[in-house]
Chains A and B, each alone.
Chain A
Amino acid sequence: MNLKFNNKLITGILTILPANEVKFEDEIANYNFSEAKSLKLKMAMGYNTHRIVEEGVTISDLCIFGFNYLFEKEILKKEEIDAIILVTQSPEYFMPPTSNVIQGKLGLKQDMICMDINQGCAGFEIGLIQAFMLLEQEAINKVVLLNADVLSQKVSKRDRNSNPLIGDGASITIIEKTENKNSIFANIKMDGTAFDALIIPAGGFKTPSTPATSEMIEDAAGNFRSLNNLVMKGDAVFNFVQKEVPPMIDNLLKYSGYQRENVDYFMFHQPNKFMLQKLADKMGVPYHKMPNNIVENFGNASGVSIPTAITFNLGQKLIKEKYKICLAGFGVGLTWSSILIDLGNLDFCEIINY
């Protein structure tokens, strides 16, 4: 469905990445493949280093670290925050919401909304759409969107399908009201019939974790994982992205009335370099307009990948300049969503290490 928002603005983006860097080469021995084959995979997919949290570090650690950075620099004031939206698939508890935990630890006011949303690859778009809707309220003037995941903890180290690309991280995006009349255009689609294309099969109420669900099993391709681990149907996800994303962007541009050539950057979710290059080829977008360098530098931290792509590739440019940016997230759900937005003149746009 198509969505349109007026008088809303992103005013800052901060990405928080764990300082711990793991190299692809250091994990090759875990995989049941020859070194030559794994190095070929590295080249094609753009695997190199990824950021992984130290054991015990959770999403609230990363988020609170980022908040404190903004409070100390006096870029953000506690009392201004009217809502926290946390998009994550690595909550600290089934109950309560992790956004409440973060609010409590930060000592924020009670007169506010905290909300967890279970979404992944399209989590930046879902979070922004939710933020825009909250800002329709008179009482809400500033929304903080948190995207945070530490899914490396759920990926088998012996799974060459998912382990090389996974990354951990968090991002803080500030969304506010503005007098500026430029509309923000969005669209979103869902297909729950393919709910198992990306899934952690066990650990929820349907299949609780037991000793049996932690048994490591080899799949047809030679990867080892248990039912407690994240599993991805790589080919199904690839086909889904190539089929659904190009027409989604066509529809978004048609709905907004903008020409493809007038879009400065296509800041897309970062599954791997291979998939993004094939997507750019299919859409006729030059590679320099669609960055694909996040997996090779940091790994794919789900909904954090777009804020990371923006802060890494544009960073300080977005403090002074303004660009027409097309965002698109696609994956778990299945969910796919895109947003056409003016981004720039930000109060902050950077990456910090935890």
Chain B
Amino acid sequence: MEAFIKKLEGILEVDKIEMDDVLLDFEEWDSLTSLSIIATIDADFHFSITAEELLSAGTVGNLIKLIQVKSKK
């Protein structure tokens, strides 16, 4: 998961993300960052999430939890 968080920081162009950071509040957030995250999850964890799921996760922490839950399925 640490590798994924590193990639997330790269996509969002920040040095460090916190678990309670709100995705929509990132300066860089747009449809491209959203698609980049979806593509990264697809490549690294082999499942797909929708843009809606991503948005309703809200925070970085909730997104990580969503990935952990989906990975177990």
Contacts and interface: CB of A to CB of B under 8 A. Distances in A.
A221 B31 contact: yes
Interface in B31-68: 31-32, 34-36, 38-39, 42-43, 48-51
Main secondary structure of the interface of B (DSSP, over half): helix
A243 B47 CA distance: 8
B42 A274 contact: no
B30 interface: yes
B37 to A, nearest CB: 10
Contacts of B38: 235, 238-239
A282 interface: yes
A319 interface: no
Given A37-B30, A243-B48, A238 B43 contact: no
B31 A238 contact: no
Interface residues of A, number: 21
Contacts of A44: 32, 36
Contacts of B28: 37
Interface string B13-30: 000000000000000101
B48 A242 contact: yes
B25 to A, nearest CB: 15
A41 B43 contact: no
A37 B32 contact: yes
Given A221-B30, A242-B48, A234 B43 contact: no
A259 B19 CA distance: 46
Nearest to A278: B39
Main secondary structure of the interface of A (DSSP, over half): helix
Interface string A32-64: 010001001100110000000000000000000
A27 interface: no
A101 B48 CA distance: 44
A281 interface: yes
A278 B42 contact: yes
B71 to A, nearest CB: 16
A33 B38 CA distance: 21
Contacts of B39: 238, 242, 274, 278
A239 B37 CA distance: 12
Contact of A242 (B34, B42, B51): B42
A239 B42 contact: yes
Given A221-B30, A281-B43, A239 B48 contact: yes
Contact of A41 (B32, B42, B50, B51): B32
B34, B36, B42, B49 — most chain A CB neighbours (10 Å): B42
25 contacts: A37-B28, A37-B30, A41-B31, A41-B32, A44-B32, A44-B36, A221-B31, A222-B30, A234-B31, A235-B34, A235-B35, A235-B51, A236-B51, A238-B35, A239-B38, A239-B48, A239-B49, A242-B48, A243-B48, A274-B35, A278-B39, A278-B42, A278-B43, A281-B43, A282-B42
Given A238-B38, A274-B39, A278-B39, 15 more contacts: A33-B30, A44-B36, A45-B32, A222-B30, A234-B35, A235-B34, A235-B35, A235-B50, A236-B50, A239-B38, A239-B49, A239-B50, A242-B39, A242-B42, A278-B42
